[in-house]
């Protein structure tokens, strides 16, 4: 069933702490199950990417985003005979380390941690599954397989990789030091993550009223599939919402089909003998050249029209301020954190504050801000 270059759970590099098998599940299915039952996974429902949680109930959250990434990932993995269970585990865990309020929160936390080792959200996702979850009698974290952890640590700066390598020689950070690639399953999640958010941000952007259908005329991929939808179903001209949904659905499938075809070509061309050979080759999971261009155009459009929209910028600026205020309030008065974190601060300092703030949902962070300052977190409309 699996291609020779797919990750095979029977040949996994294993867990940091050995555990007996759990049949009939494979080790990657077991990782997925541990992720789904984690506290950090449940919190994803109240964490956002572009729109802050209180702005509406219709928008994607980190949880729905992660489910969309898992769905797209599994479709491609099945077509290429890659390991679907590993793909699903990585997809469901890939955003666990995200702070409240999306990238704004993460940038603010990185600034706050400037003198204390910085803050990287991919590394934070790994910290969640390696250390911060406390659910098992014998170990901290979820004790996941190396292949799952490697997929979660999508990016990592060289100094951080060097420190990880000291703690775990030949482990999860080795590839950042030796310029190697991760598994095909991990490469796949990186790419479909992008596919998922580019398309759903168009959807949420239009729903929110921040993007107009007129602006989308500048996006080739959208125009092509909108026109195809209208050609097949002329009555959609009278239902803008259905027309948008159909155009976006077609954009998603076109990208999925393109990834399958382009990746199959690179696999045929390089012919990796097994999963290990993949690591020494260039990245193999890819778009074809035309789709790569169209996807870049879509990304640029979203960047200027949505992510830099004055209303989004105002909210993200506010979110950044909130995170800064929370961080310094806890760092100055650790007793404002729960007793466990307050005690840990004595031993481990500011990293405890970063972990505590990073773990917050949008609404909990907003409530904490209100409790600590007596001021409203966001202007009510």
Sign of the dihedral defined by the CA atoms of residues 167, 173, 179, 181, in that order:
positive
Closest by Cα among 373, 361, 368, 370 to 46: 361
Cα–Cα distance, 157 to 245 (Å, whole number): 38
- In whole angstroms, the minimum distance from the beta carbon of 94 to Mg ion comes to 5
In the bound complex, what is the minimum distance in angstroms from residue 126's beta carbon to Mg ion? 15
The binding track of 64-103 with respect to Mg ion, each residue x by CB under 5 A or -, is -------------------------------x--------
CA atoms within 13 A on the CB side of 194: 20
From the centroid of its chain, how far is CA 131?
19
The nearer residue to Mg ion, 64 or 81, going by C-beta atoms, is: 64
Which residue number places its CB atom closest to Mg ion? 193
Between 128 and 337, name the residue whose CB sits nearer to Mg ion. Answer: 128
Q: Compose the 220-239 pattern: x for residues touching Mg ion by CB under 5 A, - for all others.
A: --------------------
Number of residues that bind Mg ion (CB under 5 A): 2
How far CA 219 is from CA of 191, 204, 227, 298, in Å, comes to 20, 16, 12, 6
d(CA 284, CA 182): 10
**C-beta of 98 vs 350, nearer to Mg ion:** 98
Angstrom distance (rounded) from CA 306 to CA 40 = 28
**Cβ-based neighbours of 29, under 8 Å, separated by 6 or more:** 9, 85, 89
Which positions from 142 to 181 touch Mg ion by CB under 5 A, shown as an x/- string? ----------------------------------------
Minimum distance, C-beta of residue 362 to Mg ion, in the bound complex (Å):
16
Would you state the structure tokens that stand for residue 106, as one six-digit string? 């993460």
Nearest distance in Å: CB 224, Mg ion: 25
Dihedral sign of CA atoms 271, 276, 281, 285 in order: positive
Residue with Cβ nearer Mg ion (101 or 327): 101
For Mg ion, give the closer residue by CB, 95 or 120: 95
| Least distance between Mg ion and beta carbon 196 (Å) | 7
Asked if 323 contacts 357 with a C-beta cutoff of 8 angstroms, the reply is: yes
Scanning 188-196, 248-256, 284-292, 369-377 for contacts with Mg ion by CB under 5 A, the matching segment is 188-196
Residue 49 CB, shortest distance to Mg ion, in Å, is 7
Q: With respect to Mg ion, which residue has the nearer C-beta, 95 or 130?
A: 95
Nearer to Mg ion, 95 or 150 (CB): 95
Based on CB atoms, which residue is closest to Mg ion, 9 or 102?
102
Shortest Å, Cβ 277 to Mg ion: 28
SS3 content of the chain, % helix, strand, coil (to 5): 70, 0, 30
Our finding on whether 193 is near Mg ion (CB under 5 A) is yes
Name the one range near Mg ion by CB under 5 A: 126-134, 138-146, 187-195, 241-249.
187-195
DSSP-based three-state secondary structure for 94 = coil
Backbone φ and ψ for 80, nearest 5 degrees, come out as -100, 5
Q: Which stretches of the chain bind Mg ion, using CB under 5 A?
A: 95, 193
């Amino acid at each position: 069933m699996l291609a020779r270059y797919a990750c095979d759970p029977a040949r996994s590099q294993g867990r940091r702490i050995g555990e007996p098998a759990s049949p009939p599940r494979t080790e990657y299915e077991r990782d997925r199950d541990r992720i789904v039952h984690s506290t950090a996974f449940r919190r994803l429902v109240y964490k956002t990417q572009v729109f802050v949680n209180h702005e509406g109930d219709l928008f994607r959250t980190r949880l729905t985003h992660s489910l969309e990434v898992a769905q797209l990932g599994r479709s491609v993995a099945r077509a290429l005979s890659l390991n679907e269970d590993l793909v699903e585990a990585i997809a469901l865990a890939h955003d666990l380390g995200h702070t409240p309020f999306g990238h704004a929160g993460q940038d603010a936390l990185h600034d706050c941690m400037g003198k204390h080792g910085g803050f990287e959200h991919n590394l934070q996702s790994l910290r969640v599954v390696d250390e911060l979850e406390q659910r098992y009698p014998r170990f901290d974290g979820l004790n996941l397989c190396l292949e799952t952890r490697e997929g979660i640590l999508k990016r990592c700066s060289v100094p951080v990789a060097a420190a990880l390598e000291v703690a775990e020689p030949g482990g999860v950070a080795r590839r950042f030091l030796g310029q190697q690639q991760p598994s095909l399953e991990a490469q796949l999640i990186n790419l479909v993550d992008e596919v998922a958010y580019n398309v759903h941000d168009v959807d949420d952007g239009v729903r929110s009223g921040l993007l107009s259908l007129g602006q989308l005329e500048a996006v080739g991929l959208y125009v092509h599939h909108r026109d195809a939808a209208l050609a097949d179903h002329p009555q959609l001209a009278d239902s803008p919402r259905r027309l948008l949904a159909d155009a976006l659905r077609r954009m998603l499938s076109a990208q999925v089909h393109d990834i399958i075809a382009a990746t199959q070509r690179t696999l045929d061309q390089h012919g990796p003998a097994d999963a290990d050979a993949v690591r020494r080759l260039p990245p193999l999971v890819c778009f074809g050249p035309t789709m790569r261009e169209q996807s870049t155009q879509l990304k640029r459009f979203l960047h200027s029209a949505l992510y830099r929209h004055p209303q989004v910028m105002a909210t993200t600026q506010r979110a950044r301020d909130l995170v800064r205020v929370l961080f310094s309030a806890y760092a100055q008065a650790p007793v404002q954190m729960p007793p466990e974190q307050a005690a840990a601060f004595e031993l481990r300092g500011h990293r405890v504050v970063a972990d505590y703030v990073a773990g917050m949902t949008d609404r909990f962070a907003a409530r904490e801000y209100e409790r600590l300052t007596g001021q409203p977190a966001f202007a009510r409309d």
